[in-house]
Amino acid sequence: MQACAPAPPPPAPEPEPEAAAPAPVLSDAEIAASNNDFDTAVRIIEEILSGNSNDIEALRLLARVEAAAGDREASTRAWERVAALDPYDPDAAYEVGSMLAAGGRWNEVRTRMLQLETAGAAEGRHHLLAGRASLELGYRSEARKELKQAGDIELAHTLLGTMAYERGDLDEAAAEFKDALRLDPVNFTANLHLGYISYHRGRLKEAIGYYRTAYEIDENNPLACLSLAAAFEKYGDAVSAVKYYKAGILLNGTPAQERRKVYLTLVRLLYQLGRDSEIEFTAKRGLLEFPDEGGLRYYWGEALLRMNHPAAAKEQFRLAAQDPQWKDPALKRFHSIR
pTM above 0.95, yes or no: no
Q: Across residues 116-134, what is the average pLDDT?
A: 95
In 10 A of CB 107, how many CB atoms?
12
Residue burial 2-25, b: 16+ Cβ < 10 Å; e: rest: eeeeeeeeeeeeeeeeeeeeeebe
Residue 249 pLDDT greater than 70, yes or no? yes
pLDDT for 94: 93
Q: Quick check: do 152-248 and 255-338 share a fold?
A: yes
Helices (H) and strands (E) in the chain, counts: 19, 0
Question: Topology of domain 152-248, per CATH?
Answer: 1.25.40
Residue 164 pLDDT greater than 90, yes or no? yes
Mean pLDDT of the chain: 92
| Nearest alpha-carbon partner for 249 in 299, 284, 285, 212 | 285
Q: Which amino acid makes up residue 125?
A: R
CATH of 255-338, one of 1.25.40.10, 1.20.1300.10, 3.40.630.30, 2.60.40.650: 1.25.40.10
Residue 15 pLDDT greater than 70, yes or no? no
Q: How confident is the model at residue 25 (pLDDT cuts 50, 70, 90)?
A: confident
Residue 1 pLDDT greater than 50, yes or no? no
- Structure confidence by residue, pLDDT tens digits, 287-334: 999 999 999 999 999 999 999 999 999 999 999 999 999 999 999 999
Three-state DSSP string of 273-294:
CCCHHHHHHHHHHHHHHCCCCH
Domain ranges across the chain: 152-248, 255-338
Name, in order, each residue with C-beta under 8 angstroms of 285's C-beta and a sequence gap of 6 or more. Answer: 263
